[in-house]
């Protein structure tokens, strides 16, 4: 299954490098939900839970994170921050077409 590249993706790849940006289906599906009980029950029932983001990024520095926010503002892209993914309220569920920002490679602010 090919994923269509969002029109705003190129500047993010140019700034962060291709290894820190993904539109691979397996990445998009991995980040479509947090540990919200409602979504866990849906998955257990064989249903799809959450929403697919348009892309996932992994900032590695404060400067990367700052650039992501600036680029998102410039291109009107919604951001969904992701810490450990253990949220239980649906707060880490992206809106459709958003940019998912996984903070696991960011070591300090």
Strand order through the sheet with 55-57: 21-22, 55-57, 99-102, 79-82
pLDDT of residue 2: 47
| The token pair that represents 58 in the structure block | 């992994």
Cβ distance 23 to 3 under 8 Å? yes
Instruction: Return the higher-pLDDT residue of 16 and 91.
Output: 16
> 102 pairs with which residues across the strands?
82
pTM greater than the 0.75 cutoff: yes
Cβ-based neighbour number of residue 100 at 10 Å: 26
What digits encode the pLDDT tens for the residues 58-99? Answer: 999 999 999 999 999 999 999 988 887 666 666 677 788 899
């Amino acid at each position: 299954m090919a994923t269509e590249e969002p029109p705003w993706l190129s500047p993010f790849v140019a700034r962060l490098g291709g290894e820190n940006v993904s539109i691979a289906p397996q990445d998009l599906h991995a980040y479509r939900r947090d540990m919200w009980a409602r979504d866990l029950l849906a998955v257990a029932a064989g249903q799809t839970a959450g929403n697919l983001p348009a892309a996932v990024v992994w900032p590695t520095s404060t400067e990367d994170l700052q650039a992501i926010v600036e680029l998102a503002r410039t291109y009107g892209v919604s951001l969904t921050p992701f810490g450990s993914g253990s949220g239980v309220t649906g707060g880490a569920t992206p809106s459709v077409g958003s940019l998912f920002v996984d903070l696991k490679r960011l070591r300090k602010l």
